[in-house]
């Protein structure tokens, strides 16, 4: 009887292990599919997957130096220069501090900054990033853009020049005309003796003064935009730097395939261990329950035999 009981317990345990193994394999296959999909999406966006955390991070690749850009205009024009710069770096803190120090050394300033740190409660957000809006004198615009590789890997740069010479000249002409009109109204205000004319001139003088202040503010804004160029800077932290390989040889393919096989074997072993760990809590519940059921079944059969024997004796 003891052997039968042990056999039944083993059968229950094996059945439970098979069920949860199939469940674990399905979960692992699903996770592997999601990881593969994430890898493909990451590669299409020029990113890499961190196998330790499963996080998609942009891969920092050493590229040839970017060509220098010259946006200077050789004649007198009113130009508003704006630029955009995206960087990747392994030393996030140093890159941000170096950029701020460089901007200040060029007599510029940081107009706006947004820094996002890592999230300890979210494994999928373990990199830092920063967005800076800096203003630097226009004479240093090209030098700053062309030297941006000092702060990290340059993903891309853009520069735009907007010619506002016509708008600036038109505003100057209108302002000059309004100032002349303002002086004439002041002369008329001193010469008039009628209260009605005085009220009309003062009302018109107030409107002209308002327009003069408005156009003066517009010219000041133009001057600020022309004198101080605007650059939007995005900084992203990455974990790995890989040199670009323009030619992939057959040996490189063998090496990459072998590395991928090792990684696959490692993931398989990790998945097997995780399945065993996942099954243990269920076995803790199933085994005692199976033992109780078997003991109760054994007692029930024993009681049934006793009752049957008594009934035969009574006959």
Residue pLDDT, tens place only, 23-73? 444 544 444 444 444 444 444 444 444 444 444 444 444 455 666 666 665
The residue whose two tokens read 């961190």 is 50
Q: What's the confidence (pLDDT) of residue 36?
A: 47
pLDDT of 121 strictly over 60:
no
Q: Which residues pair with 236 in a beta bridge?
A: 88, 129
- 186, 142 in Cβ contact below 8 A? no
Q: What's the confidence (pLDDT) of residue 71?
A: 65
Q: pLDDT of 269-304, one tens digit each?
A: 888 888 888 888 877 877 777 788 888 777 777 777
Q: pLDDT of 209-260, one tens digit each?
A: 999 999 999 999 999 999 999 999 999 998 865 555 566 787 878 888 888 8
pLDDT band at 201 (very low <50, low <70, confident <90, very high): confident
Percentage of the chain beyond pLDDT 70 is 68
Q: Rounded to an integer, what distance in angstroms lies between the CA atom of residue 62 and that of residue 46?
A: 13
Percentage of the chain beyond pLDDT 90 is 32
Separate counts of helices (H) and strands (E) for the chain: 6, 9
238 and 121 within one domain: yes
Q: Which residues contact 215 (CB under 8 A, 6 or more apart)?
A: 171, 174, 175, 178
Q: Rounded to an integer, what distance in angstroms lies between the CA atom of residue 256 and that of residue 262?
A: 10
Domain that holds residue 205: 166-224
Q: Rounded to an integer, what distance in angstroms lies between the CA atom of residue 73 and that of residue 70?
A: 9
231 and 127 within one domain: yes
Q: Is residue 279 classed exposed, middle or buried when 0-12, 13-18 and 19+ CB atoms within 10 A define those classes? A: buried
**Mean of all residue pLDDT scores within the chain:** 77
Q: Report, as an integer, the average pLDDT of 143-156.
A: 89
* Inside any domain, residue 232: yes
234 and 94 within one domain: yes
Q: Which two tokens stand for residue 156?
A: 């891309």
213 and 285 within one domain: no
* Inside any domain, residue 201: yes
Helix H or strand E encompassing 167: helix 165-191
pLDDT band at 118 (very low <50, low <70, confident <90, very high): low
- 231, 145 in Cβ contact below 8 A? yes
* Inside any domain, residue 294: yes
158 and 180 within one domain: no
* Inside any domain, residue 126: yes
Higher pLDDT, 78 or 33: 78
Q: Which residues contact 100 (CB under 8 A, 6 or more apart)?
A: 110, 132
* Inside any domain, residue 49: yes
Q: Rounded to an integer, what distance in angstroms lies between the CA atom of residue 157 and that of residue 146?
A: 9
235 and 125 within one domain: yes
In eight-state DSSP terms, residue 90 is S
Q: What's the confidence (pLDDT) of residue 273?
A: 87
Higher pLDDT, 249 or 90: 90
Q: Rounded to an integer, what distance in angstroms lies between the CA atom of residue 63 and that of residue 156?
A: 11
- 238, 87 in Cβ contact below 8 A? no
Q: Rounded to an integer, what distance in angstroms lies between the CA atom of residue 145 and that of residue 95?
A: 15
The residue whose two tokens read 């460089």 is 102
Q: What's the confidence (pLDDT) of residue 284?
A: 80
CA distance between the termini of the chain: 30
* Inside any domain, residue 21: yes
208 and 280 within one domain: no
The residue whose two tokens read 């003891």 is 2
Number of domains in the chain: 3
* Inside any domain, residue 8: yes
Q: What's the confidence (pLDDT) of residue 230?
A: 94
Look at residues 216, 243, 270 and tell me which one is the last residue of a structural domain: 243
Sort strands 228-237 and 129-137 into parallel, antiparallel or unpaired.
antiparallel
What is the Rg, in whole angstroms, of the alpha carbon atoms belonging to the chain? 39
* Inside any domain, residue 254: no
139 and 177 within one domain: no
For residue 116, count other CB atoms closer than 10 A to its CB: 12
pTM of this prediction?
A: 0.54
Q: Which two tokens stand for residue 55?
A: 């996080």
157 and 92 within one domain: yes
212 and 114 within one domain: no
275 and 127 within one domain: no
69 and 28 within one domain: no
């Amino acid at each position: 009887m003891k052997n039968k009981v042990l056999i039944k317990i083993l059968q229950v345990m094996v059945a439970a292990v098979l069920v949860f193994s199939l469940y674990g394999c399905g979960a692992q296959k699903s996770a592997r599919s999601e990881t593969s999909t994430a890898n493909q999406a990451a590669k299409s966006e020029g990113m890499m997957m961190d196998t330790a955390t499963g996080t998609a991070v942009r891969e920092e690749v050493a590229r040839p130096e970017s060509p220098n850009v010259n946006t200077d205009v050789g004649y007198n024009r009113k130009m508003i220069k704006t630029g955009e710069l995206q960087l990747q770096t392994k030393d996030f803190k140093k890159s941000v501090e170096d950029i701020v120090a460089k901007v200040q050394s060029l007599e510029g300033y940081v107009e706006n900054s947004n820094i996002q740190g890592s999230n300890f409660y979210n494994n999928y957000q373990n990199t830092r990033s920063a967005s800076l809006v800096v203003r630097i004198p226009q004479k240093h615009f090209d030098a700053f853009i062309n030297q941006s590789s000092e702060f990290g890997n340059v993903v891309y740069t853009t520069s735009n020049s907007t010619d506002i010479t016509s708008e600036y000249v038109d505003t100057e002409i209108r302002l000059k005309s309004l100032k002349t009109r303002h002086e004439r109204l002041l002369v008329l205000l001193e010469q008039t003796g009628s209260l009605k004319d005085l009220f009309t001139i003062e009302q018109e003088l107030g409107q002209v003064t308002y327009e003069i202040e408005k156009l003066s503010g517009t010219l000041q804004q133009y001057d600020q935009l022309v004198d101080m160029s605007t650059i939007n800077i995005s900084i992203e932290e990455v974990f790995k730097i890989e040199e670009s390989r323009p030619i992939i040889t057959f040996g490189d393919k063998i090496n990459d395939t072998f590395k991928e096989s090792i990684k696959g074997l490692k993931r398989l072993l990790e998945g097997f261990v995780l399945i065993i760990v996942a099954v243990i809590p269920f076995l803790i519940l199933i085994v005692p329950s199976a033992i109780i059921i078997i003991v109760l079944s054994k007692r029930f059969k024993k009681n049934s035999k006793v009752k049957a024997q008594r009934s035969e004796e009574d006959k």
